[in-house]
Amino acid sequence: MSHTHAREAGAAAHRTAVEPLTEQEVEAIRADFPALAEQVNGLPLAYLDSGATAQRPQAVLDAELDFLVHSNAAVHRGAHTLAGLATEAYEDARATVAAFVGAREDEIVWTSNATDALNLVAYGFANASHGRGGDAARRFALSAGDEIVVTEAEHHANLIPWQELAAVTGATLRYIPVNDEGVYTVADVEAVINSKTRIVAVAHVSNVTGFVAPVASIVTLAHGVGAYVVLDACQSAPHRRLDLLALDVDFAAFSGHKMLGPTGIGVLYGRQELLNALPPFRTGGSMISTVTMDSATYLPAPQRFEAGTQPVSQAVALAEAVRYLERIGLDRIEAREEELAERMLVGLAQIDGIRIVGEPAGTPRAGLVAFDVAGVHAHDVGQYLDAKGIAVRVGHHCAQPLHRRLGLTATTRASAYLYTTTAEVDRFLAAVAEVRPYFGETS
């Protein structure tokens, strides 16, 4: 069975086993999100930009405010009551997020966002390559002749840190190419990973094509040559059940603001023994064990990577977002989003002059669709949709190499989430059908 057919069979079995959220349930969920009641240009807001930033339910807003009102204090410092309450809330949030992704508490590091988390790993490798971290860190040292592997479809956050790591260590950056649909196969991965590969960094779900990477096969191939696997889980953690232990990746990163949580907080997952060996990225207060005027020793993970004032209220709010998602059910959210993606794909395919990025309808993907409108720049498409009260993302989506490979400078992306209705998708499709005639593109 081919990789594509295997994905189709697996997704079909998934849909049979899991009941998607119903329209009635979605309407009830929407009542939890104050922002969704807003109007844009006198029209009800249809928010189809959750792939960039998700809206927050009232429970998440309340959780952060309640912490700030009643428990706000510095964590892991002081012996007073508020400091104790804040520290307990902060570490409880870590435990909640760890359980959500199948990790241990000491395998979860708070960062400012996923980009920060990925940079933390890359700079840890760079520091090890320059002799920092002692014997334990030597496993991470890179030099000329070593190779770092990414894909041609990566978000810049999972590309540029590895470019920089290659530049400062002499390693070579290689990439897994995509086809004309912007996706790749296991065979493409096999052709690039070899005995020189030290790191393989891939997105679990593409933020442009919605393609779900064959992570199990990638991990097997990478670990088979002794390479570390770094997973960008920004577009998977909010939308599908994520078990990082089962996936057997070495590091993973995701952001709070894409999964109903606040901005200003991200999560780095790392296997415990790796985090304790990785040289820290930032240094200062809170992450040290002993300091003299000449040297310092660092605490074990995760504290060794959490220098300075921590994002305490954001962690508390993110934990509440996780609890909200768990109450709804990630499997049902995923099944619902697959239905909405299929509806968008089928509808767009019926509109003249539309080029869909990624695989066509009938192939499972995450709940987002990027497309090009012939003769109309993506920014004009976005402005037209905004005039209709429909919020989408336009541009290269921080994936310029992928767009360049596909011969595009920019696309329009609509992304669904647990609060997206079928009526909003249909309203979006009707508006897209009006774009080319509005701009005089009728051929």
111: domain CATH number? 3.40.640.10
Proportion of the chain above pLDDT 70, given as a percent:
96
Residue 42 sits in the same domain as residue 151: no
| 6 pLDDT higher than 60 | no
Q: What is the pLDDT of residue 14?
A: 45
Q: What is the pLDDT of residue 442?
A: 78
How many domains would you assign to the chain? 2
| 267 pLDDT higher than 70 | yes
- Digit-coded pLDDT (tens) for 283-313: 998 899 999 999 999 999 999 999 999 999 9
Residue 243 sits in the same domain as residue 311: yes
Domain assignment of residue 78, yes or no: yes
Residue 104 sits in the same domain as residue 248: yes
Instruction: Count Cβ neighbours within 10 Å for each residue of 334-369 and write b for 16 or more, e otherwise.
Output: bbbbbbbbbbbbebbeebebbebbbbebebbbbbbb
- Digit-coded pLDDT (tens) for 335-390: 999 999 999 999 999 999 999 999 999 998 999 999 999 999 999 999 999 999 99
Q: Any idea which of 6-10, 153-157, 162-166, 223-227 has the lowest mean pLDDT?
A: 6-10
Domain assignment of residue 443, yes or no: no
Domain assignment of residue 417, yes or no: yes
Q: What is the pLDDT of residue 5?
A: 37
Task: For residue 254, give its domain range.
Answer: 60-326
Domain boundary residue, one of 291, 326, 361: 326
Domain assignment of residue 236, yes or no: yes
Residue 15 sits in the same domain as residue 108: no
Domain boundary residue, one of 268, 301, 326: 326
Domain boundary residue, one of 294, 326, 358: 326
Domain assignment of residue 209, yes or no: yes
- Digit-coded pLDDT (tens) for 72-118: 999 998 789 999 999 999 999 999 999 999 999 999 999 999 999 99
Mean pLDDT of 151-159: 98
Q: In angstroms, rounded to a whole number, what is the distance separating the alpha carbons of residues 141 and 371?
A: 41
Residue 13 sits in the same domain as residue 69: no
Domain assignment of residue 208, yes or no: yes
CATH number of 43's domain: 3.90.1150.10
Residue 334 sits in the same domain as residue 305: no
Q: In angstroms, rounded to a whole number, what is the distance separating the alpha carbons of residues 7 and 233?
A: 19
Residue 321 sits in the same domain as residue 333: no
Q: What is the pLDDT of residue 10?
A: 45
Residue 319 sits in the same domain as residue 343: no
Domain assignment of residue 362, yes or no: yes
pLDDT classification of 8: cutoffs 50, 70, 90: very low
Domain assignment of residue 54, yes or no: no
Residue 244 sits in the same domain as residue 274: yes
74, 77, 190 from 206: Cα distances, Å: 37, 40, 19
Q: What is the pLDDT of residue 15?
A: 44
Q: What is the pLDDT of residue 168?
A: 98
pTM value > 0.85: yes
Residue 258 sits in the same domain as residue 347: no
Q: Which residues are catalytic?
A: 398
Residue 111 sits in the same domain as residue 176: yes
33, 240, 249, 318, 417 from 236: Cα distances, Å: 21, 6, 14, 16, 12
Residue 246 sits in the same domain as residue 310: yes
